[in-house]
Amino acid sequence: MRFLRQFRGVLRLRCLDILVNRPPIKNNKQFSWLSTMQSPKLLRNAQTQHGDASSVDVENIFLHRHMLSTNPTSGGNLPDREDSPKCVWFPDDQDGGPAESKDPPTSISEEKSETQSKEVLPEKRKASSTDDEGYVKKVKLDANGLKTKRPGFSDERYDETSYYFENGLRKVYPYFFTFTTFAKGRWVDEKILDVFVREFRAAPPEEYERSLEAGKLTVNSEKVPKDYRIKHNDLLANVVHRHEVPVTSQPIKIVYMDKDIVVVNKPASIPVHPCGRYRHNTVVFILAKEHNLKNLRTIHRLDRLTSGLLLFGRTAEKARELELQIRTRQVQKEYVCRVEGRFPDGIVECNEKIDVVSYKIGVCKVSPKGKDCKTTFKRIGEVGSDSIVLCKPLTGRMHQIRVHLQYLGYPISNDPLYNHEVFGPLKGRGGDIGGISEEQLISNLISIHNAETWLGLEEDQIVSGEIKDAAASTSVVENPINRETEKPVISQNLEPSNEIATQTCYEEPDRSFDSKKATSDPQCSECKLNYRDPGTKDLIMYLHAWKYKGIGWEYETELPDWACNSNIDYDQV
């Protein structure tokens, strides 16, 4: 380092010596980087950031070629002038006349004004033409446009299929859909068939093999053999005949709406956004197709089986504002639930940390290594041997209310996950999961899912061998049954109403199955299977988001039937 500093000092002195004591230049190209010496006039005194030439600190001066510039006078004869670089200024030359040498240092702007020179200083590079500028601006606007559309989908996606009502359920006509994804790093050099069987699991290996042979499963839009090994940046595409899971036909009611926000009362069983086997049967798709509310921005989420208040932003600014309030815990949230047993009197506070056991299947449990959580509970009524409990989550962890109630020993009565023996004989009370490891718990959960689809995995359902015409209803739901021996039980309050159509008159679902709108695929295994419709217990969980109150706003929904079957004065709660 010391040697470098000494070398740099010597180099600076040498540069200064060349500039001050330079010999006469006959050819201006001899020292192209010192082109300012070509002026026939005497150059003016310079003032750098270190002072003028008489007071400069030669140990610290740094002169760069881009700091040098010509100061031509009008009428000067400057051969090859356009070849010389543009720089700043120079100290006096001893050959200069006294009148010129007495001039004070002159700024570039003053000098330009005096000489009326057409030369300009170096500046930030700009587009070479107005056309280029227009192109740059256009790209920027297009990017903003894409950002605006990011929360939603194109009309082509909305028009993929349509809805129909049957047995109190909202169903989707099966449709063709192309899944696309770029190759992940862990897939590189692996056989494509092995990757799809392991990573996606939405179909048996034989079906993926048939898709490869038929050219429905492609790489970079080209047909490949089943032993093809995936490469970096490969684009994988798989065309499937998609069957969605039916949901309740209860309408999504608009609680409040203005130009910035939409607040709805989400029925149980409908996911907020596309996930797993749900796409069109989601809140965002239904609002877009039947209320013409597109490009909504999700501010928060509710579990699929949870009903109640759901907020969407219609503008990015409002969405960020409300999301920030929720994230900084400035929003007071109140839920109502129905739990097993008689809940204790008074206010019960649970501060147990919650950890995600598996993000892939979405399961949590109380754990010391989890994140801080706090929920307060208060019993406000009773229904038979169950209790109606008011819940106030002060944090917003995944499944927080459900996990804390499980830990306290009062799980939600019909919670298909956290009120299950898979968590041990005590069903997770006090954090006891029967002495098994988390890995074993995950394995048990996935195994049970093969018979009880409450985890939302993209897995095959347990199906019967009954075959029916592909044109008939082909919705994929819970465990199939023989329709001749058992009928699904659907409550009357699940029948569709005209509320959606009268609100918007945009797109009303069919009131019954229309075979003309049905599509089929001879290679689709689900087209050949018959699934039973879900019953009431499959569509609902006794947990409802009742009230949300933030800074300058407050929203509330009507309560579901299961919360109104007791003598509770909710106005006094």
**pLDDT for 366-412, tens place per residue?**
999 999 999 999 999 999 899 999 999 999 999 999 999 999 999 99
Q: What are the tens digits of pLDDT across the range 237-290?
A: 999 899 999 999 999 999 999 999 999 999 999 999 998 889 999 999 999 999
Q: Which residue has the higher pLDDT, 225 or 55?
A: 225
Q: Which two tokens stand for residue 319?
A: 């969405």
The boundaries of every CATH 3.30.2350.10 domain in the chain are: 333-454+541-572
Percent of the chain with pLDDT over 90: 44
**Domain 333-454+541-572 carries which CATH code?**
3.30.2350.10
For CA atoms 428, 433, 438, 443, the dihedral sign is negative
Which pLDDT score, from 0 to 100, does residue 28 have? 46
175-179 LR contacts (CB < 8 Å, sep 24+): 175/241, 175/242, 175/519, 176/239, 176/240, 176/241, 176/242, 176/519, 176/521, 177/239, 177/240, 177/242, 177/279, 178/237, 178/238, 178/239, 178/240, 179/237, 179/238, 179/240
**Can you tell me the distance from the alpha carbon of 447 to that of 442, in angstroms, rounded to the nearest whole number?**
9
Read off the pLDDT band of 565 (50, 70, 90): low
Residue 165 phi/psi, 5-degree rounding, is: -100, 140
**Can you tell me the distance from the alpha carbon of 518 to that of 512, in angstroms, rounded to the nearest whole number?**
12
**Can you tell me the distance from the alpha carbon of 266 to that of 306, in angstroms, rounded to the nearest whole number?**
8
Contact 121, 69 (CB under 8 A): yes
Q: How many residues does the chain have?
A: 573
Structural fold of domain 175-242 = 3.10.290
Which pLDDT score, from 0 to 100, does residue 566 have? 63
The boundaries of every CATH 3.10.290.10 domain in the chain are: 175-242
Which whole number is the average pLDDT over 461-473?
A: 30
- Given a cut of 50, whether residue 477 has pLDDT beyond it is no
**Can you tell me the distance from the alpha carbon of 265 to that of 255, in angstroms, rounded to the nearest whole number?**
6
Look at 1-15, 17-31, 514-528 and tell me which has the smallest mean pLDDT.
17-31
- Given a cut of 80, whether residue 435 has pLDDT beyond it is yes
Residues taking part in catalysis: 303
CA atoms within 13 A on the CB side of 187: 23
